């Protein structure tokens, strides 16, 4: 709904895009700002576990064995990592944390193609509706106004095309294999070919001669070898960084930022926020909610602002109707139409 508003209202931007690579445009300045305020960062320092004592976090054990003690702890690790921190003791104090491992993830990973010429395509994102691997892309250079490509990377690179693949189960057009069964090299070749097939015609926009290099998400790690359960060799990649997807009913499995432990808050995209989409927006709101909880605990009056969703009044009667049906135990009207459609198509199939 919020995305639609942005597209229909000419006074608002349709989508917002950073004016440089994410680290340079956003993360690095933010880190510099926080350091200026006295924050000490310890990058590449994984935490192994929480120590819980007396119903609260007593300390952290780092992967190198060192201990850390603090007044407040903020858990902000990805959804597939968080359950490792939920010890039975912690779950007893904050049962909602136990439900994080019920949240579902899917694969959505990116690749960048570095091009000899800048190919702008359109001024926004592209959706390749015909690509088996559900590709989307953006031609970066037209937006990276704050970044000089000549100062970095190989000299011949003049354009950057960022592409995301969201379907890892449908066979591709070159190797006839789903993405998760391909090697990293095959994934790059396959995505490049799917892009070319879509973009080239009637005019040619991508040619092999344009491609200087590519960079695929390092979270995709090649695996190979005999399957333990079946008599076959399983090849392809595993995804060390799957993306949270908010499925029907997932809201109740998302923990609040203030989870009821006196010195622990949660600040990740799976926290119960106003956003029903794993996004930086949701992670940001979770951070704000965690900050507010900490402020409340320490008697700080000032709070970070939280934005509510805007929904048009015209939808109110439908929502009211839906609420009544729900209370009566009746299915959603959409579900009824779906099942009717299934029945009619099954009957049609028989005929
Ligand atoms: C391909 C792709 C495209 C996307 N595009 C968009 C977009 O256009 N707009 C948008 O809003 N969102 C987008 N998203 C979603 C967005 O990136 C995430 O929702 C957001 O980054 C989540 O932020 P987070 O802080 O919750 O988690 P993360 O950004 O995943 O941060 C978690 C951190 O925890 C660290 N960590 C892991 N284990 C440990 C440990 N044991 N100890 C200490 N630290 C640890 C990780 O290294 C990481 O830095 C995209 C996601 C993907 C995968």
Q: Among the residues of the chain, which ranges form H helices?
A: 2-8, 22, 28-36, 82-85, 88-93, 184-199, 280-297, 316-327, 333-350
Least-confidence region, from 1-5, 108-112, 239-243: 1-5
Atom of ligand 1 nearest to the CA of 77: 34
> 34-87, pLDDT tens digit by residue?
999 999 999 999 999 999 999 999 999 999 999 999 999 999 999 999 999 999
- In this structure, the residues whose C-beta lies within 6 A of any atom of ligand 1 are 46-47, 76-78, 81, 108-110, 164, 243, 268-269, 278-281, 283
Distance, CA of 76 to CA of 287 (rounded, Å): 9
pLDDT tops 60 at residue 351: no
Domains 45-101+247-318 and 108-239 share a fold: no
Q: Which two tokens stand for residue 41?
A: 């960062």
Which pLDDT score, from 0 to 100, does residue 296 have? 96
The string of pLDDT tens digits covering residues 295-328 is 999 999 999 999 988 888 998 999 999 999 999 9
Query: Which ligand 1 atom is nearest residue 270's CA?
Result: 26
d(CA 252, CA 99): 8
Number of H helices, E strands in the chain: 9, 14
Q: How confident is the model at residue 153 (pLDDT cuts 50, 70, 90)?
A: confident
Architecture of domain 108-239: 2-Layer Sandwich (3.30)
In this structure, what is the dihedral angle of CA atoms 192, 195, 198, 204, given to the nearest 10 degrees? -80
Model confidence, pTM = 0.88
Residue of the nearest CA to atom 6 in ligand 1? Answer: 279
Distance 342 CA to ligand 1 centre (A): 38
Cβ–Cβ contacts within 10 Å for residue 236, how many? 19
Pairing of strands 73-75, 104-106: unpaired
The yes or no reply on domain 45-101+247-318 and CATH 3.40.50.2000 is no
Average pLDDT of every residue of the chain: 91
Higher per-residue confidence, 300 vs 226: 300
Check if the beta carbon of residue 252 is closer than 8 Å to that of residue 270.
no
Indicate the domain borders of the chain: 1-41, 45-101+247-318, 108-239
């Amino acid at each position: 709904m919020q995305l639609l508003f942005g597209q229909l209202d000419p006074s608002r931007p349709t989508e917002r895009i950073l004016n440089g690579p994410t680290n340079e445009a956003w993360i690095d300045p933010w880190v510099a700002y926080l350091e200026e305020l006295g924050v000490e960062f310890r990058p590449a320092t994984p935490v192994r576990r929480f120590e819980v004592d007396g119903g609260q976090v007593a300390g952290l054990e780092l992967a190198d064995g060192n201990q850390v003690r603090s007044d407040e702890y903020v858990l902000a690790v990805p959804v597939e990592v968080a359950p490792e921190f939920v010890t039975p003791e912690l779950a007893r104090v904050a049962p909602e944390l136990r439900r994080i491992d019920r949240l579902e993830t899917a694969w959505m990973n990116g690749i960048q193609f570095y091009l000899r010429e800048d190919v702008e395509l359109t001024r926004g994102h592209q959706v390749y509706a015909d690509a088996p691997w559900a590709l989307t892309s953006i031609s970066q250079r037209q937006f990276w106004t704050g970044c000089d490509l000549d100062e970095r990377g190989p000299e011949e690179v003049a354009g950057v095309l960022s592409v995301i693949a969201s379907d890892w189960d449908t066979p591709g057009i070159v190797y006839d294999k789903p993405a998760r069964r391909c090697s990293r090299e095959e994934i790059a070749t396959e995505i490049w070919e799917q892009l070319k097939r879509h973009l080239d015609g009637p005019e040619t926009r991508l040619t092999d001669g344009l491609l200087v290099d590519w960079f695929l998400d390092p979270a995709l790690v090649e695996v190979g070898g005999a399957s333990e359960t079946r008599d076959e060799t399983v090849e392809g990649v595993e995804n060390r960084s799957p993306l949270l997807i908010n499925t029907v009913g997932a809201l109740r499995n998302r923990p609040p930022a203030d989870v009821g432990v006196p010195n622990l808050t949660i600040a990740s995209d799976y926290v119960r926020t106003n956003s029903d989409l794993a996004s930086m927006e949701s992670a940001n709101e979770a951070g704000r909610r965690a900050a507010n909880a900490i402020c409340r605990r320490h008697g700080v009056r000032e709070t970070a602002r939280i934005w509510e969703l805007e929904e048009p009044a015209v939808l109110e009667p439908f929502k009211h109707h839906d609420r009544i049906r729900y209370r009566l135990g009746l299915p959603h009207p959409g579900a009824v139409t779906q099942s009717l459609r299934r029945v009619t198509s099954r009957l049609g199939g028989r005929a």
